[in-house]
Amino acid sequence: MSDVEAPDADAAEITDLAAFGESFTRDPYPVYAQLRERGPVHRVRLPEGTEAWLVVGHEAARATLADSRLTKSWDHAAPEVGPSPFFVGHHMLNTDPPGHARLRGLVAREFTPRRVAGLAPRVEELTNELLDTMLASPGGAADLVESFSLPLPLGVICELIGVPFLDRDAFHGWTLALVGVAPKEEKDAARAAVGEYLQSLVEHRRRKPGDDLLSGLVHGGPVSAEDADGSAPLSDDELVAMLWLLLVAGHETTVNLISNAVLGLLTHPAQLAALKADFSLTDNLVEEALRYDGPVETSTYRFTREAVEIAGTVIPGGGQLVLPVIADGDRDPAKFPEPDRFDIRRRTRGHLAFGHGIHFCLGAPLARLEGRTALRTLFERAPRLRLDAHPAALTWRQGMVIRGPHRLPVRFG
């Protein structure tokens, strides 16, 4: 047992994030900054009603992301946290060591820099195909999310893993229900539909293997448990959970990386002009977009096993929910001077958009490839691209994990 004395959780002041209303969903950064001025750790009530401990500021959030005293396993979550808002099952993002190493090792080689570089021609091809269609839209206008920033990463990850094209719209709908804020009945229906669908994919690849990642996982081929650490291959339940994680993490974050980056450029004309004058800034644009308004607002869930002290605050044990706020860590003036300024020439080293520690995003090289290819090609082919709505009129994804606009109306004629 820990020798840290746990405080009375009921005695801690609770900040109700729902009280900030729609403005918090649209722009949470001022709220996080106010909390950071008061200290690194705060007990809050999330917009959906769950109580949690937020960790703000770069140093504290970074340390918490790598804190082995916290568990990622939902088996340790307190009953009041409720059911997982994500698809259930054991995958590498909700598993602790030593099991985590086995699961991560199964797919790590799929996302090496060399393999990702090999995907570059196909990413570029898909990018141009989507832009061909979008730029032919009647009236010279489109929703960038629907036409471009969603189908590109969704198409890439589906091809890589081996998901039939015609199933992608349905899958994205299930993802929105599970990862965002939705009624319990809708989440339950989506969870059941996802489980049934993914199990059917596993069974299909068992009967008819291909050269995709899923076939390798099912049949213990190039990407197998034996290659990782000599342990047993994935069970059916593990296959379904891993497939869900790869599909969701493989597209949801990149969708919003592209959308948020485009919005940042279109609302900062001087930065857009700088990019058009020198497209060699594209790589740094991607990093600054990740830092300034990245697609991941808070980390996925962590829980206390026992009372732990984080940045001077003792959080009770018993499965309390702990959320490092990645979005605030990347707007901390102690790490990034003038953090609320969007600057594509900024030194962004050390941002937390892909996490930190053993759960650092495995798909970061692929996300960067897709981001720089999408952004450079978009502004090369549509140099007159502009917003077709006032920024304040945009509606944003609800929930504390994924951040991005539902739609991004643009004109390019």
User: Tens digit of pLDDT for each residue in 171-191?
Assistant: 777 877 777 667 778 888 888
Average pLDDT over residues 117-130: 95
- Is the distance from CB of 54 to CB of 325 less than 8 angstroms? yes
d(C-alpha 413, C-alpha 409), whole Å: 13
Tell me which of 10-14, 87-91, 339-343 is least confident.
10-14
Average pLDDT over residues 384-404: 94
Residue 11, pLDDT score = 53
Q: How many residues make up the chain in this entry?
A: 413
Phi/psi at 152 (5° precision)? -65, -60
Instruction: Name the CATH superfamily housing domain 9-411.
Output: Cytochrome P450 (1.10.630.10)
Decide if pLDDT at 103 tops 50.
Answer: yes
Identity at 216, one-letter amino acid code: G
Whole-model pTM above 0.75? yes
Residue 86, pLDDT score = 67
Average pLDDT over residues 317-325: 97
The confidence band for 6, taking pLDDT boundaries of 50, 70 and 90, is very low
Tell me which of 12-21, 234-243, 369-378 is least confident.
234-243
- Proportion of the chain above pLDDT 90, given as a percent: 62
User: Tens digit of pLDDT for each residue in 324-379?
Assistant: 999 999 999 999 999 999 999 999 999 999 999 999 999 999 999 999 999 999 99
Residue 174, pLDDT score = 81
d(C-alpha 328, C-alpha 335), whole Å: 11
Residue 404, pLDDT score = 96
Residue-averaged pLDDT of the chain: 89
User: Tens digit of pLDDT for each residue in 260-303?
Assistant: 999 999 999 999 999 999 999 999 999 999 999 999 999 999 99
Omega before 98 cis (within 30°)? yes
d(C-alpha 168, C-alpha 184), whole Å: 23
- DSSP for 138-187 reads GGGEEEHIIIIITHHHHHHHHHHHT--GGGHHHHHHHHHHHHS---HHHH
User: Tens digit of pLDDT for each residue in 39-73?
Assistant: 999 999 998 889 999 999 999 999 999 999 999 99
Better-scored residue on pLDDT, 144 or 12 = 144
